[in-house]
Structure formats: C-alpha cells, structure tokens
Amino acid sequence: MSEFDDDMLFKLAVEMERKKAEEKEKKRLRYLKTLETRREKKKTREENNPIQTANEKIKTRGKARERRDFIRKTVFDHYGNKCVCCGETIEVFLTVDHIYNDGAEHRKEVGSGIRLYKWLIDNDFPDGFQLLCRNCNWGKHVNNGICPHKA
C-alpha cells in the first residue's frame, strides 16, 4: 500500500470517528430533551393529584417488596432456612450458593439476587444450589471453593 493510500485511510478513519461522535452527541441531546418533557409531565400529574400519587407510589413499592419477600422466603424455605456450613439462621445473613462454584457464569445468564431466586422457583429447584451465610459464602470464595470452617 502506498503512503498516499495510508494517508487516505487515516483521514477516512478520523472522519468516521468524528461522525460517530457527532451521532452520539445528537442522540444524547435528544434523550435529554425528552427526559425534561417526561419529567415535567410527571411533575404536573403529581402536582394535580398529590395524594393519589403518593398512594400509588406506596402501593407499588409495597407490592414489589411483598413479592420479593415471598420469592426469597419460598427459596430459603426450600433450602432449609440455614447455612449448610455453620448453621447460621438469621435471614439477612443467608444467600443461595452455587455448590460447584460456577456462580459467576450462571449469574451472567440469569442474574443475581431476587432474579436468581425467581429462576430457581421457575426451574423447580435444580441441583447444584445450597444455602450459605455470607461469611461461609465468602470464605468458600477466597479459599478455593471450601469454606475455611471445613478446611
């Protein structure tokens, strides 16, 4: 390739980059513009109906929490409500553990936390999962897959 071609290619690449950046900026501005309109609309609606809005917010928030609690409880019940390693039973300490340490892969696939719990229910509690407390879960993680309690 001659020097001339190289130069052309370089200029072309620069030009493409510039156009890309331009497009991006345009998109961003468009987004910001509609964001403002959306916010204003929401604000007017809320100002016109303050009580209704507040009630709605509480209701949807409450329902979402209820649903999450139910899902978590169903899963923890299934796994015996305690850490299989140390016997911890306080719920906030407990978490579902991937027995075979393929958690990262799986979480990428189905998500973590409540999404994982929902997946477990939807899939009829497949093998490969157990309940661990956060301590034992972390201990296992940093100790080659075996909680230091057991090592």
Nearer to Zn ion, 83 or 118 (CB): 83
By rule CB under 5 A, what count of residues binds Zn ion?
8
Nearer to Zn ion, 53 or 93 (CB): 93
Which 6-65 residues touch Zn ion, going by CB under 5 A?
Answer: none
Rule CB under 5 A: say whether 133 interacts with Zn ion.
yes
Question: How far apart are the C-alpha atoms of 8 and 61, rounded to whole Å?
Answer: 58
Quickly count: other Cβ atoms within 10 Å of residue 85's Cβ. Answer: 21
Rule CB under 5 A: say whether 136 interacts with Zn ion.
yes
Which 57-96 residues touch Zn ion, going by CB under 5 A?
Answer: 83, 85-86, 88
Whole-angstrom CA distances from 141 to 43, 98, 129, 137 are 47, 10, 15, 6
Question: How far apart are the C-alpha atoms of 75 and 83, rounded to whole Å?
Answer: 13
List residues near Zn ion by CB under 5 A. 83, 85-86, 88, 133, 136, 147, 149
